[in-house]
Amino acid sequence: MHPNPDISLRPKTHRSGQQERGRRPGVVRRLVQTVVRNWQRRRMIAALRAMDDNLLYDIGISRNDIPRVVDSFSDRELGMRPVSLEVERQSMQGNPSVSPSRA
């Protein structure tokens, strides 16, 4: 019988490999989150730039401040649709004269 029963007879595994594998999903997740956030940011900037100056003035944004304002948005705000689906459909069909109140 072995004098110390707490000693395992199994071969020891290297922990460094397990730790590296454990870190990879975190790195990949952050990379994906960064890519998605940048895509959402560009989409929001494009939507705001597509608005006319009067509408931007009504919501309190000047055209020069659009990137700065979008940078201050949270992830939740960046995930929002910048315009209603009906207005987006009308603009894609080439009819931008439809007002959001009629949509």
The Cβ of residue 90 has, within 10 Å, a number of other Cβ atoms equal to: 19
Mean pLDDT, rounded, of the chain: 75
Residue 44 buriedness (CB in 10 A; 0-12 / 13-18 / 19+): buried
Output 85 or 21, whichever has higher pLDDT: 85
| pLDDT tens sequence across 56-78 | 899 899 999 999 999 999 988 88
| pLDDT tens sequence across 2-17 | 566 566 666 665 555 5
Percent of the chain with pLDDT over 70: 56
